[in-house]
Structure 1
Amino acid sequence: MKLVDELRARGFIEQMTYPEELEEKLNDGKLTFYSGFDCTADSLTVGHYLLICLFKHLQKHGHKAICMIGGGTTMIGDPSGRNEMRKLMSREFIDHNAECFERQISSLLNMDGEHGIFMNNKDWLLDLNFLNFVREIGTEFSVNRMLQFDCYKTRLEKGLTFFEFSYMLMQSYDFLKLYREENCTLQVGGNDQWSNMLGGYELVRKLENATVYNMTIPLLTTADGVKMGKSMGNAIWLDKEKTSPFDLYQYFRNVDDRDVIRFMKVLTFLPLDEIERIEKEEDINRQKEILAYEITKDIHGKEEADNAINTARALFSGKINAENMPEFELDASKATEGIGLLNLLVETGICKSNSEGRNLVKGGGISINDEKVIDPSMTVSLEELKNEIIIQKGKKTFLKVYVK
């Protein structure tokens, strides 16, 4: 199967510029391609991981990857999908996040210089000469046309700053820079980036009279159409300190039945004929186990995936195995005289608020050490926490909590 046929069969391709030309180059040529990663947090999410999976497929077929860290563009913030201006971040904060991104991406992709490289757009954006930039780049952009793009049009009623308005020019300049320095001819990204990507594609074609391309992938959404990402408040992080391997496994073990095969095609590297066999021959629970195991293995390694599946099976069978369970170390100063259950549930992240915790307790949804909690006003003692407790929320969420 040719590369583009496989990408389509897996569900990766959403839009392309000059699709016939690009398909031929993807199938038979050797392209240098890139995508940008703005450093708005200190970890990638599974939304980013969908793009990483595309990178792996492209690298496997001989194409060279540029992971462009957005150390410069993050200073502005992409207005796409936002109803208000993003919070401004310090350079130190962005640089720290950039280091985290590079470390995570290096563990997932071949970034040896031949098959993949990192570049950071702060290297050319932070010290741009404003007048030279607007003379060379700004003259190629029509404000009237830019205002027709959704990323700007939806902001006009509430207000759009010139600061944010310049984001498209900066992102477009990135493509021009990478074309000139690395002969990069393809930009890939999420479908919500299409308008920004068109800016760079058109800029390179105008200034360099060069043939370059764009390709977008669908956003990672649930069957109900909910986007999975930190902007929606439901991020699943790739950093094991933010989302443990067990929690990652459990998330995909419990996805909607309608999402299982779709996620298996884009987020795992199982052959398509094997996925077809799994869909036909395995029951839905086994399909979910395979999906969760493969994703956890590819991100965190086989040992962590084995621990996760074994722990999940033990918990489901009622044989609690605390060894590989997610854990939370509570600051002892917060429990010197014990800590209220509702405060503990919020502190550990099991619940978002006291009212949520209270409702769960009243509904029989909270257990401690395998015993149902019936009193939301109960206090957990420091001594109990020193000996470790296991909090269970519903049937599938477990957390080991302790103090030292």
Structure 2
Amino acid sequence: MSTTSDVLDLLQERGFIHQCTDVAGLRQSMARAPVTAYLGFDATADSLHVGHLQGLMLMRWLQRAGHTPMLLIGGATTRIGDPSFRDTSRPVLDEASIAANIDGIRSAFTRYLGLEVPVVDNAEWLDGLGYLDFLGKVGRHFSVNRMLTFDAIRSRLEHSLSFLEFGYTLLQAYDFTELARRHGCTLQIGGADQWANIINGIDLGRRQSSLDLYGLTMPLLATADGKKMGKSADGAVWLNAHRLAPYGFWQFWRNVDDRDVGRFLALFTELPMDEVRRLGALQGAELNEAKIVLANQATLLAHGPDALESAQRAAAGAFGGGERADMPTCVLDAARLAAGVTLAELAVESGLAASRGAARRLAAGGGLRLDGVTAPDADAVLAGENGEWVLSAGRKQHARIVVVS
């Protein structure tokens, strides 16, 4: 792929583009020379999740076209929290938690885009910025009246919006201008809910230094059943293996709604669009082929070939009677088995349910199974002498229960 604006057509075809501040200007800028584009994350967790994957894949396509992706981590802004479309403030994290989260986010980002990708922390310029300096450099360029028209701000006024959070959009605007000044970054990528923040950065760059900056937003994704992308019944679908095993990640994609398969193949794999359209058009039982391709391709990108092979073996053990060795395992002491342990306890310990109450609800709905047989009572005591069982939560998650002496 060339370094020209051809990539914008590709991104549009695959479903990545929601809005762009100046399509013609960005196309011309890309045609003149490679651009540097940044994607920003606050360090609120030690892993990114599937809800962030759309941005990572977009950046991969830009990188393949010869452009430079950049990661901005909000080491400073994490302490404040983006109020965009939130009902409540985010909890404040301590410095040690922020540092650990930064390492985890960097790990996920560089797996998709390579170790050579520049990673920048906005604490570099925000930590040393005095309040009066900030008012002079940034605050004087913005109208409070205009800021109150932004949906992201207005939605919080119905609850409670602190002055700290109100200033977040100005900090993000300043980030963009600093990245432009320090690193020649001229394109900001974000979700559709970041539109106002991106616009503010472009305005600030023009007013301060007559910079030509651009913004591109992605549609906010939800699954066909209306759930926010990246969430499951048991929480976020994490990209880092310490948060979610590759097998669980594979299962998420294998069990997506039939209506989402074609769209997800376009967004979350690098298959040619002709193949995406072929797989997305399959019907009935044949659509399972497309889901397996989606699961394989997504897991390969996230975790690499060895983890994919392990996940495939685990899936064979769960669904095809094959080897179970790679399935997530809960080790149970023989003495504890003899004393009595419930399926609800095991569901929690193996990660299949968030709590015993959740396990009971799962069982009541027919979703808890032991060796493929529905277990309607989660408080039933595990019994038997075979020393190994497969406990399942619906069709999506399975774990080995192994007894050791």
- TM-score normalised by L of structure 1: 0.90
Which residue does 2:7 correspond to in 1? 3
| Structure 2 gap ranges (5+) | none
Which residue does 1:378 correspond to in 2? 380
Please report how far the alpha carbon of residue 329 of structure 1 lies from its aligned counterpart in structure 2 after TM superposition.
Answer: 5.0
The percentage of aligned residue pairs carrying the same residue is 39
Please report how far the alpha carbon of residue 27 of structure 1 lies from its aligned counterpart in structure 2 after TM superposition.
Answer: 4.8
| Structure 1 gap ranges (5+) | none
Alpha-carbon distance in 1 for matches of 2:113, 2:103: 15
Which residue does 1:394 correspond to in 2? 394
Matched, 1:294 2:297: yes
Alpha-carbon distance in 1 for matches of 2:177, 2:243: 36
Which residue does 2:162 correspond to in 1? 161
Matched, 1:77 2:117: no
- How many residue pairs get matched? 398
Please report how far the alpha carbon of residue 330 of structure 1 lies from its aligned counterpart in structure 2 after TM superposition.
Answer: 6.6
Higher mean Cα deviation, 242-251 or 20-29?
20-29
Please report how far the alpha carbon of residue 355 of structure 1 lies from its aligned counterpart in structure 2 after TM superposition.
Answer: 4.1
Which residue does 2:347 correspond to in 1? 345
- TM-score normalised by L of structure 2: 0.90
Alpha-carbon distance in 2 for matches of 1:187, 1:240: 28
Please report how far the alpha carbon of residue 107 of structure 1 lies from its aligned counterpart in structure 2 after TM superposition.
Answer: 1.8
Which residue does 2:199 correspond to in 1? 198
Q: Choose which of 309, 317, 321 in structure 2 pairs with 1:306.
A: 309
Which residue does 1:188 correspond to in 2? 189
Q: Secondary structure at the match of 1:178?
A: helix
Change (3 A) 1:133 1:277: same
Q: Secondary structure at the match of 2:260?
A: helix
Alpha-carbon distance in 2 for matches of 1:45, 1:347: 22
Residues 309-324 of structure 1: pairs in structure 2 closer than 5 A: 309-317=312-320, 319=321, 321-324=323-326
Change (3 A) 1:281 1:364: closer
Higher mean Cα deviation, 303-312 or 159-168?
303-312
Please report how far the alpha carbon of residue 366 of structure 1 lies from its aligned counterpart in structure 2 after TM superposition.
Answer: 2.9
Residues 2-401 of structure 1: pairs in structure 2 closer than 5 A: 2-27=6-31, 29-112=33-116, 116-229=117-230, 234-280=235-281, 283-317=286-320, 319=321, 321-329=323-331, 337-362=339-364, 364-373=366-375, 375-380=377-382, 387-401=387-401
Alpha-carbon distance in 2 for matches of 1:31, 1:140: 26
Alpha-carbon distance in 2 for matches of 1:257, 1:90: 42
Alpha-carbon distance in 1 for matches of 2:224, 2:359: 27
Alpha-carbon distance in 2 for matches of 1:231, 1:74: 25
2:342 maps to amino acid: G
Please report how far the alpha carbon of residue 245 of structure 1 lies from its aligned counterpart in structure 2 after TM superposition.
Answer: 1.1
2:347 maps to amino acid: L
Q: Secondary structure at the match of 1:4?
A: helix
Alpha-carbon distance in 2 for matches of 1:310, 1:232: 24
Please report how far the alpha carbon of residue 325 of structure 1 lies from its aligned counterpart in structure 2 after TM superposition.
Answer: 1.0
Change (3 A) 1:263 1:314: same
Higher mean Cα deviation, 168-177 or 241-250?
241-250
- Contact conserved, 1:389 with 1:401, CA < 8 A, in 2? yes
Alpha-carbon distance in 1 for matches of 2:252, 2:8: 30
1:392 maps to amino acid: S
What per-residue deviation string (whole Å, max 9, x for no partner) do you get for residues 14-66 of structure 1? 11111111123335531111111111001111111211111111111111121
2:229 maps to amino acid: M
Change (3 A) 1:28 1:222: farther
| Alignment RMSD (CA, Å) | 2.7
Please report how far the alpha carbon of residue 174 of structure 1 lies from its aligned counterpart in structure 2 after TM superposition.
Answer: 0.5
